[in-house]
Structure formats: C-alpha cells, structure tokens
Amino acid sequence: MSLLVKICGITTPTAIDAAVAAGADMIGLVFFERSPRHVSMETARALAAHAAGRARIVALTVDADDVFLATLATDIRPDIIQFHGEETPARVAAIRSGLAIPVMKAVGVAEAADLAAIASYAEVSDLLLVDAKPPKTAAALPGGNGLTFDWRLVAGLDPGRPVMLSGGLHPGNVAEAVRLTRLAGVDVSSGVESTPGHKDPDRIRAFVAAARAAQGEGERE
C-alpha cells in the first residue's frame, strides 16, 4: 500500500496547491481556536472547495460538541473527521455512526503504557494517529507542538486499522521515521512551516519527497 502523507494545519489555498503538487494524499483543516492553524467555518468552506477532488479533506476537532460536528459535516463535508481531544471510544463510535463519515482518532504517546488505549480506539475508528503526547503545561496544544517521541514504541504497530505517525516530523527526519516505524502514513504540521500557521511550499515538497523515497527504499529491501 502506498504511504499516506497528510499535510495538516492548512490555512490558505496556496498551501493546498503546494501539498497537492508535492503529492500529498490528505490536507488537514484545524478547528481549535487556541491553535495558530485554526480556521473559521467560512474559511474552511472555501479551502475545502479548493481541495475537493484533489486531496482527502481531514477536519481536525478537539472535544467538539454534537452541534458543531453536525455543522461541520454539512458545511465542509470532510472525507475524514479527526478527533484530537479526550474523546472516549464510545464517543468516537457514536459520532462515526451518527454522521456516517470515516473517523481518525489521535492517541498521544510518550511511553509504552500509552499504547494500551489503541486497541479500543481501533475498534471504532477507520484510521488511527499516534502523536507525541503534549507536555503538561497550560500553553500546550493537543498537537502541532513540534515534539517527537520514541518511534521504536510503535514500530510495526498493527491494530487492524491503518496507523499514521505524527509529532515533530520534518523534512530532515521523516525518512528515518518511515523506515523505522513502517506505519501506513505520516502527518506533518509545524515541521513544514516558516512561522506558526504559515506553510512553506519548499518544505512541503521536501517532506513529501523524503517520505516517498524512504518508502521506496523499504520496498526494495
């Protein structure tokens, strides 16, 4: 299976164009007001229309309520809803069933014990994302903190659902991450930015190229 590459935290049509031209499979729109990558529903509608048919649209939410999610499903029509908060497996299952939209659940990882949650989320999700667990500070965001974790913890992880890797990835380390973990995909946000919230087309191209090259090396081994 071809490696999935997601460019998250997209805020402009230019960033979408760069991601698509580079060969990314997914673009992520962030709906979390504390994030420098947050987009309003109005902006997201325009971005989704720009990306439609060119890349899969992932809507990242953090403990969103039913009203917001229903509006999101109707107005944006994402291909995938990503849950990046404290949503329980029951909550994920209920939303997935109610909205009939594929879902991805992010699981924060800092140590081996954190992997215990993966099995229950795998039962109710279409995809999973293993991300660096955010630091315990008031300013920390659920994701996009530019932090890595010990990738050996998830090397070869196979819970019966595709698993993507996130957390501190950038053009300089994504090849190593792909080769070591052998997961289904990689997800980058801050690692391809010039400043928080502003994607750099050159870094996007370099990231996707490095990820694809690493997968190709693995297939030839």
Give the active site residues: 8, 131
173 Cβ contact partners less than 8 Å away, ≥ 6 residues apart: 148
SS3 8: coil
Residue found by looking up tokens 């039913």 in the block: 66
Nearest C-alpha neighbor of 192 from the set 173, 177, 218: 173
With beta carbons less than 8 A apart as the criterion, state whether 61 and 78 touch: no
Both tokens assigned to 190? 């801050």
How far apart CA 168 and CA 99 sit, in angstroms, is 31
How far apart CA 202 and CA 171 sit, in angstroms, is 10
The amino acid present at 130, given as its one-letter code, is V
How far apart CA 91 and CA 220 sit, in angstroms, is 41
Beta-strand pair 193-195/26-31: unpaired
